[in-house]
Structure 1
């Protein structure tokens, strides 16, 4: 949910550059993971149907085709509106979490403004629960919002936080989550393990984005990988199972190759070419001529007889 300085939106997904003066060169960790197939058709349909059922214009629109079409069209974008609202909320929550770490490190921060932004949107519960978790786990920040790079495989990304907890180095990724009907924060997706293990496998971390200065990655020696679900009612930290890290890393590598293969296919040229009908024949039918294998027209390849 953050917008690191070296990250750029491109037609091929979010990509990273080595400095502010260079062009994007590698995909982001999240762009690689997005190559996983996903089926949201049911959710999109549910959101649209729910929005239509709750629309106060619906009763009056039933006898008016033009108004009904407008109502249905508005309902069809309900999922996109929900997604956009959730993205803005996630940005506000992530920003607050970053400011907490910056204050703890004694660096310039805007923590009060970040809390106010949450309060203005009725989201102060996220800040309250996060503060409680931060104190309970005695989080000692090392570096918030740290951009990392892996040249061997070709990807980059930004980790929400490197910290020590209980004397262990931890790589942390925050996920803003809603609360279920029982008051518990909703579960994290297993994909967070891929995100964290890709961060752990980094080779460099960013020092100066303007100069393009990087240094060897200092936190890849078996850190604790934590996905932290931040909600209005609680914050729940989940540890990546060390026994599955290799599997998730191999899956990430395969997705990176899939991203590159897709890019190469797009850049190779048109996948489909027009072909016209064969010219009219004046001789015998090809079936009676064993030597005939096809014909070539002026606009396309040979057309089989």
Structure 2
């Protein structure tokens, strides 16, 4: 996926600036959503245990504590390696999808190069399934990789694609997914609805990052919100239920407040300070006792 020009990694998460010459001001949509509590402890534990169990040197290391400790340490990083590899794969798939849109719009593109990058990593099936979906749904791209801004709630973000499908305006978010036990693409997380509704509720769209020019958001009037799961065996598009959008929007706005409060707490300084034991109060200690009296 093309790195949004105005996005910055900060100590408060990913944030957006108004132009290339200004500092970041607003949290990204994904940073806001990340304030939602959740735990992957079970998955991290499983990945570590599975990595260790499959290590070819495990039988011989059982009698060698030093070697076994090294293998355990390496296995503990299995989840991080998997996450990083999945993120890199997702970037390659998103880049290809963006280039397909640019080509369809008659704009400069790098579609052959991004397709080759997928092939080099054994991931060309993602591109093949995406091409099938694109043709089947007769996607008419309007604007790929659109950066948006909302002043009222206070956030910014980048939408994967604005397009027309069947004559209806659609806001689309791509998710690269693995294959489930039945051979289909894995299910989307409901969080994608928050991401899409935040995009719909934008107030401005970026025109020129260098100049910092924006225009009123043109695509928020009753679009269809689509989460598109891209897998090696299929691509599945799911529509956000219009009946639940307001609740996901309320939740997103609440998470934005959580982000602001957490940022304020972090900026305020240390939460706990050292304290010394109390010193004797000279006014209440009484007169010193003679040595012989004190010994009695």
Alignment correspondent of 2:113: 113
Gapped regions of structure 1 (runs ≥ 5): 286-305
**In the TM superposition, what is the alpha-carbon distance from 1:2 to its structure 2 partner?**
4.6
Alignment correspondent of 1:13: 13
Alignment correspondent of 1:78: 78
Alignment correspondent of 2:266: 266
How do 1:112-151 and structure 2 match up within 5 A? 112-151=112-151
Cα shift readout 1:257-298 (whole Å, capped 9, x = no counterpart): 00000001111121101111112467479xxxxxxxxxxxxx
**In the TM superposition, what is the alpha-carbon distance from 1:33 to its structure 2 partner?**
0.1
**Secondary structure of the structure 2 residue equivalent to 1:225:** strand
Number of positions where the alignment pairs a residue of Structure 1 with one of Structure 2: 285
Alignment correspondent of 1:231: 231
Cα shift readout 1:219-265 (whole Å, capped 9, x = no counterpart): 00000000000000000000000000000000000000000000011
How far apart in 2 are the matches of 1:132 and 1:252? 33
**Secondary structure of the structure 2 residue equivalent to 1:3:** coil
Cα shift readout 1:177-214 (whole Å, capped 9, x = no counterpart): 00112111000000000000000000000010000010
Cα shift readout 1:87-115 (whole Å, capped 9, x = no counterpart): 00000000000000000000000101111
Q: TM-score, normalised by structure 1?
A: 0.92
**Secondary structure of the structure 2 residue equivalent to 1:71:** helix
How far apart in 1 are the matches of 2:188 and 2:34? 16
How far apart in 2 are the matches of 1:159 and 1:281? 66
Gapped regions of structure 2 (runs ≥ 5): 287-296
RMSD between aligned alpha carbons? 1.2
Alignment correspondent of 2:22: 22
How far apart in 1 are the matches of 2:270 and 2:79? 32
Alignment correspondent of 1:56: 56
How far apart in 2 are the matches of 1:261 and 1:276? 30
Structure 1 segments, 4+ long, off by >6 Å, are: none
Q: Select between 273-282 and 15-24 the one with higher mean Cα deviation.
A: 273-282
